[in-house]
Amino acid sequence: MLEGIETIHFVGVGGIGVSAAAKWCLAKGKKVSGSDRAGSAITDDLERRGVAIAIGHDATNVPVGVQLVVYSPAVVESNVERVRARELGAKELSYPQFLGAMSKGYSTIAVSGTNGKSTTTAMLALMLEAAGYDPTVIVGSLVPSFPLGNLRVGNGRFFVVEACEYRANMLEINPEMIVLTNIEADHLDFYRDVDHIRETFQTFVDKLKGKGLTVWNKDDAQSNRLIVDRGVTYGFDGASDYERLSRMTVDGIQTVETSQGTLKLKIPGAFNAMNALAATSAAMELGVPFETCARVLSSFTGIWRRFERVGQFNGAEVVSDYGHHPTAIKGTIEAAREFFPGRRIVLCFQPHQHSRTHELFDEFVASIALADEIVVAEIYGVAGRTESEAVSSEDLVEEVRRVEGSKSRRVEYAAGLDEAEAALREIVRDGDVVIVQGAGDIDEVARRLVD
């Protein structure tokens, strides 16, 4: 896809996905530059690897002679660097469009759905790697065994990629296999409702008619309403091609009995058992033996910010998690109770985006209230998305305090990260499990506590 293109500039290069694309281009021998509004560990890493990084957006960041500019979906058309790119006659692609173009050069496996995309992508990629398929992989997290973290550059025919449903971005991908985790209401600043989301996934699945395979979750109500031309199912409902028969957790190990054999997981939660089953189902359909899948899963310790155990604070276990949907919060708290029975669960949650918080307000209240002690940081506003500030985390806190049983626990509002950290330092005690959760910058609080 890059024939004749030697110089590429990335706008918004600090994003977890865009940075992977920049590294891939660098690995292909291209001259790569990039910019972002703020520096980060990701931009520092890119600079160490040879990417020319500029902090802040300015027309002068775009090199003369640039042939392609790739931009994050959060970067608006009027951005000065995009304007300069057009003046220079460079081709422009959004990050999803770049993935779409890239996917045409491989047998592409797209992992999509509301929850579980990153973990399932990582699991499946590691299975294909272990089987000798040498895949290329882009994942929206960091995989510990990948030298490039969010990217694996392979020489095989498979490209495993996380396909995000925001703004229907997954429709840019050209897959030969789709792995669909579930369909729930989310991104309601773009979609009308869950029916609109399902209809968009139907369009995605329809891209495979007569030429590909969809691996989908039979337990998921909305997925069951899809019309799938060629499909393989996984689930716990007794009518799936790949069945989860039972699941139990003892001493920090999940044992999952399936219709193919036994899987043992070092990561917690029913949701991770389903992620593992999704990855195993897809891998086996591609010819990977069950024994290889089981061996990979038995040593899989998770990925960055997905129930990541980052260390200890005052005798408490500190977990950082990217979850920002009510279902993810609920699943994470339940997983913590399974892995750490009898211990107090302290949740520090930062909502991600005002519109999501408003549209799923009641669901957030119900999920947050499942923790024993609670700190809710102010909502993380997202550049380039709908950010009407009609709702605040203070509203969430007020409603959680009304939930039965809340009078006997702490439910605190934090205006910022410093306040959230201070509240946790006051609340947390020896033996607690602290979950620091959200897709914004709340992860910094987890790292500060451990440091």
Tens digits of per-residue pLDDT, 101-113? 999 999 999 999 9
Does position 69 have pLDDT exceeding 90, yes or no?
Answer: yes
pLDDT for res 39: 95
CATH code of the domain made up of 106-299: 3.40.1190.10
d(CA 114, CA 170): 12
Helix (H) or strand (E) holding 319: strand 316-321
> What would the pLDDT profile of 6-37 be if each residue is shown by its tens digit?
999 999 999 999 999 999 999 999 999 999 99
d(CA 327, CA 379): 18
pTM of the shown model? 0.92
Single-letter code of the amino acid located at 3: E
pLDDT band at residue 381 using 50, 70 and 90 as cut-offs:
confident
CATH 3.30.1490.150 fits 308-450, yes or no: no
Does position 445 have pLDDT exceeding 60, yes or no?
Answer: yes
d(CA 13, CA 39): 10
Mean pLDDT of 44-69: 97
pLDDT for res 239: 87
Does position 203 have pLDDT exceeding 90, yes or no?
Answer: yes
Q: 7-95 and 308-450 share one CATH topology? A: no
Contact criterion met (CB below 8 Å) for 252 and 320: no
Mean pLDDT of 241-265: 96
Rg (CA), the chain: 22
d(CA 129, CA 131): 5
pLDDT for res 388: 63
Does position 386 have pLDDT exceeding 60, yes or no?
Answer: no
pLDDT for res 387: 57
pLDDT for res 156: 98
d(CA 208, CA 272): 27
Does position 383 have pLDDT exceeding 70, yes or no?
Answer: no
Does position 295 have pLDDT exceeding 80, yes or no?
Answer: yes
Beta-sheet pairing, 136-138 with 151-152: antiparallel
7-95 sits in which CATH class?
Answer: alpha beta
Give how far Cα 71 sits from Cα of 95, 98, 176, Å: 6, 9, 26
pLDDT for res 2: 79
* Closest to 100 measured CA to CA, from 129, 128, 138, 130: 138
> What would the pLDDT profile of 159-177 be if each residue is shown by its tens digit?
999 999 999 999 999 999 9
Contact criterion met (CB below 8 Å) for 437 and 350: yes
Q: Domain residues of the chain, as ranges?
A: 7-95, 106-299, 308-450
Q: In Å, how far from its chain's centre is CA 12?
A: 18
Mean pLDDT of 78-107: 97
pLDDT for res 406: 74
Structure tokens, 349 = 């949650």
Does position 385 have pLDDT exceeding 70, yes or no?
Answer: no
d(CA 109, CA 160): 5
pLDDT band at residue 95 using 50, 70 and 90 as cut-offs:
very high
